[in-house]
Amino acid sequence: MNITIAVAMSGGVDSSTVAAVLAHADDGDVASQNSVVGLTLQLWDQTRLASKRGIPDAPKAGRCCSLDDVYDARKVAEHLGIPYYVVNQQERFEQDVVRPFVSEYLAGRTPIPCSLCNNHLKFDQLLQTARSIGADRIATGHYAINEYDADRSRWILKRPVDKAKDQTYFLFGLTQPQLSRTLFPLGRLTKPEVREVARQRGLALAEKPDSQEICFIPGGDYKQFLTAYLEEQGQKAPETAGELVASNGQVIGHHESISNFTVGQRKGLGVSSPSPLYVLNIDPASHRVTVGADAELATRSLRANRLNWISIPGLIAPMRVRAKIRHRHEPAWATLEPAGEDQVLATFDEPQRAVTPGQSAVFYDGDEVVGGGWIV
């Protein structure tokens, strides 16, 4: 069999619909049908930390790599009559996603594991596996549009039609060679339309709820996860207790660990105050956590490094963009300018709330992803 496309199947509605659409072209022309293989990445053993304190034994459905999801993906592949395999990438996932996730938190930053997973697993290792078995391209259920622009001789990543499902924020790290081998068949569909296609194709999981949380953290409590993971590794969390200070420098309390905080956080600060207090800054060197009023969270500019450019070969002159600084952030107008080796400075027109080191900043020109980097 000559396989041309490998579909990354998670067992959810989106990737299952991708498999269905690619496996059986609508026009009924047999010659136009693709040879599709389904691949599921086994990334994390959901039962691995089950015995540890506070970690539930049986993860709920809808997480990546839970047995239920593999079962669902396999059922879809059987229904479609396509070959299907589970590929073990647990070691790579732990090394490239879980460990960095843990060390970022321990260093007082707020990481985005999904972007790391896309960069290291889905669009690197999976693509490699796909090519090993003869597939030129991979297709995923991400909501994004990927098109070749002959004028610019570049692959352009764009925001999808369904803006509420936009996943381009997590895809800014894709290189041109990776984009040239990637299909996002759902980019021009809305989520309700995807569910409708799934129903039409007879997929039993058409009504399966969306997954929301970080896939390897059962229950979504990252602090519990950090503790359980470090315990399993026989490591102790580094001592990062320190002072809680007001923005005027006055010490107003103490905290147990900087990993308990993220910029913009309001709950769990452990101090009382007549007006609401938010985390403004976390200093990993002094372990000092600065808190202040909501208004003080606003920042005029940010710096990002470890950059990847998509619609342009590189940034050589200032450029007007809209910058998105977290998944649920409405991109805001900014001027982007080079700021040294592999670093940019983005200056917002209007101050933005809670610019958070460890998150990524993704720059848009209209619907096009210009590129992005990691906030420092």
Partner 1 sequence: MRRVYADANATTPLLPEVMEAMRPYWMEHFGNASSIHLHGQQAHTAVDRARETMAEFFNCHDAEVVFNSGGTEGDNTAIFGILHPGDHFITTSIEHSAILEAARRLARNGIETTFVAPEPSGLINPMDIRRAIRPETRLISVMLANNETGVLQPVEEIGKIASETGIFFHIDAVQGAGKVPFDVRRFGCHLLSISAHKMHGPKGIGAMFVRRGTPIEPLLVGGSHERRQRAGTENVPGIVGLAKAAELAMHSLGDGTIGRLATMRDWLEEAILRIPGTGVNGASDGEQKVPRVANTTNIWFDQLEGEALVIALDLKGVSVSGGSACHSGATEPSHVLMAMGLDKTRARASLRFSLLKAANDADIDHVLQVVPQAVEHLRALAPVAAGTLG
CB of 222 to partner 1, least distance (A): 17
> Can residue 88 be called a binding residue for partner 1 (CB under 8 A)?
yes
> Can residue 7 be called a binding residue for partner 1 (CB under 8 A)?
no
Pick from 16, 321, 374, 375 the residue near partner 1 by CB under 8 A: 374
Number of residues that bind partner 1 (CB under 8 A): 43
> Can residue 331 be called a binding residue for partner 1 (CB under 8 A)?
no
Pick from 177, 268, 351, 366 the residue near partner 1 by CB under 8 A: 177
Pick from 48, 60, 74, 327 the residue near partner 1 by CB under 8 A: 74
> Can residue 175 be called a binding residue for partner 1 (CB under 8 A)?
yes
CB of 273 to partner 1, least distance (A): 36
Has 64 been annotated as catalytic?
Answer: no
Pick from 131, 191, 199, 223 the residue near partner 1 by CB under 8 A: 131
* Binding span for partner 1 by CB under 8 A among 82-90, 150-158, 190-198, 205-213: 82-90
* Binding span for partner 1 by CB under 8 A among 79-87, 204-212, 214-222, 266-274: 79-87
Angle in degrees, CA 200, 202, 207, rounded to 5: 85
> Can residue 67 be called a binding residue for partner 1 (CB under 8 A)?
yes
How far, in Å, are 54, 158, 293, 321 from residue 341 at the CA level? 44, 26, 34, 20
Pick from 211, 240, 308, 311 the residue near partner 1 by CB under 8 A: 308
> Can residue 16 be called a binding residue for partner 1 (CB under 8 A)?
no
For partner 1, the binding residues in 98-127 under the rule CB under 8 A are 100, 115-116, 119-120, 123-124, 127
> Can residue 190 be called a binding residue for partner 1 (CB under 8 A)?
no
Has 215 been annotated as catalytic?
Answer: yes
> Which spans of this chain sit near partner 1 (rule: CB under 8 A)?
1, 3, 37, 40, 42, 45, 65, 67, 70, 74, 83, 85-88, 90-91, 96, 100, 115-116, 119-120, 123-124, 127-129, 131-134, 173-178, 181, 306, 308, 373-374
